[in-house]
Amino acid sequence: MGLLRSSMCKQAQLESSTFKDWALRMHEDPHHLHRKIWEYEFVAQALFERDMLRSGRRGLGFAVGRESLPALFASMGCEILATDLDYEKAARGKWVETAQYAGSLEALNAKGVCDDKEFRDRVAFRFLDMRALPDDLGVFDFLWSSCSLEHLGTLALGEKFIQESLKYLRPGGIAVHTTEYNLSSNFFTLSRGQTVLYRRKDIERIATDLRQRGCSIDLDFTQGDGPHDRFVDRPPYKNPVHLRLKIWGHVVTSFGLIIQKA
């Protein structure tokens, strides 16, 4: 597999030995074709290829929920600041009742991905709202978010977060974000609410803005052509194959953005 670019979910990637290795390291089923697993592995592989996952690197994670990425990166020697909403805001957004909220440092290593002592030494946790980024977090080698941009209320708020979060990156640092991507239309979409859906023209606009700021980003809109790529899961989303799904009439998958700061 060549160097990852900003791209959408593909069956072939999940079935590659590289992505299966990441699944095993995160204690996930390597045969589970689920877009959330793809997102975690996409983030990990993008950072690994750019020499971010080693001792001495500092990483910042947004809206980490219960994902294993903070523990994974700590196990590889990185110092991590993991952030998420406080309990009250998370409860209002229904993240608590859907078991997608951790709210504490210990919960981020529940699967035992990292040695407990190494985890405590290398990972810190802080409450943070992605719509109101503070100025006192410091500077990091890399940052990431996994399917969080689309839950900030509007397309514009997600785009604003991408731009403003660059202040936490050192020059040459890497940001990796995954988000919901509308495959059905480049015109009609969900532009505000609990979940918004980014279209191709939205992604292209984000990339244009980032390039104007001196950042590097390469886009690949190639769609997978495997049988599982073409399958569309529908509510209540119980199918073991979950690379594409229907949301309010739109066919959606995941798109990953890889950004290098000027």
The Cα 97–Cα 66 span in angstroms is 13
pLDDT per residue of the chain (262 residues) written in tens, 0 to 9: 568 999 988 899 999 999 999 999 999 999 999 999 999 999 999 999 999 999 999 999 999 999 999 999 999 999 999 999 875 655 555 544 444 456 678 889 999 999 999 999 999 999 999 999 999 999 999 999 999 999 999 999 999 999 999 999 999 999 999 999 999 999 999 999 999 999 999 999 999 999 999 999 999 999 988 999 999 999 999 999 999 999 999 999 999 999 999 9
The Cα 60–Cα 39 span in angstroms is 16
Range of the domain at 223: 6-260
pTM above 0.85, yes or no: yes
The pairing of strands 6-8 and 250-260 is antiparallel
106 occurs within a structural domain: yes
- pLDDT digits 0-9 by tens, 207-254: 999 999 999 999 999 998 899 999 999 999 999 999 999 999 999 999
The string of DSSP letters for 79-110 reads: EEEEEE--HHHHHHTTTTTTT----SSGGGGT
Burial class (CB in 10 A: 0-12, 13-18, 19+), 47: buried
74 occurs within a structural domain: yes
1 occurs within a structural domain: no
**Count of structural domains within the chain:** 1
The domain that holds 195 is classified in CATH as 3.40.50.150
Residue 176's DSSP bridge partners are 144, 258
The string of DSSP letters for 125-137 reads: EEE--TTS--S-S
